[in-house]
Amino acid sequence: DKAEALAELLSQGTWTHDYPIGAEEAKALGLPVTTGMPKEVYQLMDLYPQTQMRRPSVQYVPMPYGRGGAR
């Protein structure tokens, strides 16, 4: 029953696909969460830095798009 309720919560649109569920929130949802990461993982992640430019991951394009509407 708990798994079904959690699956429904995670799939009903409560959050968008780009909303990060943090460790504390995941624990509150009942997920088995650990936060102890081996030092080697951080060393590996340092080899692949992420860009600092923040762009929206989803773009809204109103319909109909362009001149004359959809064809």
Q: In this predicted model, what pLDDT tens digit does every residue of 9-50 receive, in sequence order?
A: 988 888 888 889 999 999 999 999 999 989 999 999 999 987
Q: Is the pTM of this model over 0.85?
A: no
The reported pLDDT for the residue numbered 24 is 95
Mean pLDDT lowest among 4-13, 36-45, 51-60: 51-60
The reported pLDDT for the residue numbered 64 is 74
Question: DSSP letter at 52?
Answer: -
**In a domain? residue 48:** no
**In a domain? residue 25:** yes
Number of domains within the chain = 1
Structural domain containing residue 12: 2-43
**In a domain? residue 55:** no
What is the separation of C-alpha 12 from the centre of its chain, rounded to a whole number of angstroms? 14
Residue 25: Cβ within 10 Å count = 13
